[in-house]
Amino acid sequence: MKSHYLVLATAILSVPALVFAEGVNSTLPQKTVNQWTCAEFVGIDDQFKPKAIYWASAHAKGGKKHKANVLNIEGTEKVIPIVIDECTKQPKATFWEKLKNAWQTVETSAKADAKEIKSNLGDIKTNVISNPE
């Protein structure tokens, strides 16, 4: 669990460091992340896009007490290509909405997967009880 805090801290601290990176400062949006357009996000150097998404995801979930201390690495890794793809397709859209929509898609998919696994486990349990070896 401590490694999750370390990764979260690294991700959060990495994005503000972008402001001081040589040659990158001029391409960063000079406003809060929830006000970025997709065009502004797409304009960030490709190597920093995943870090920006990690940071923005932590920022977005920071107000939800039950999730504030949890870093969902697997979920964030799924969100990254969705946000990049959607923002590339719709540069006038807001980055924040694309991020929230991507998280909703990933979380809905995870819930459906969990439901299917639970159902499959129930089937296995039924088969084991019905056909003991």
Q: What is the pLDDT of residue 100?
A: 94
8 A C-beta contact, residue 82 and residue 106: yes
Whole-model pTM: value is 0.66
3-state secondary structure of 94: strand
Q: Where are the beta strands (DSSP E) in 12-120?
A: none
* Domain carrying residue 75: 2-130
User: Please, what are the averages of pLDDT over each run of 10 residues along the chain (133 residues)?
Assistant: 50 49 57 92 94 88 58 88 97 96 91 78 63 63
8 A C-beta contact, residue 87 and residue 99: no
Q: What is the CATH number of the domain that holds 12?
A: 1.10.890.10
- Determine if residue 131 is left, alpha or beta; phi over 0 gives left, psi from -120 to 50 gives alpha, anything else beta: beta
Q: What is the pLDDT of residue 126?
A: 63
Q: What is the pLDDT of residue 95?
A: 96
Total domains in the fold of the chain: 1
- Count other Cβ atoms within 10 Å, centred on residue 127: 10
- Determine if residue 52 is left, alpha or beta; phi over 0 gives left, psi from -120 to 50 gives alpha, anything else beta: alpha
Q: What is the pLDDT of residue 6?
A: 47
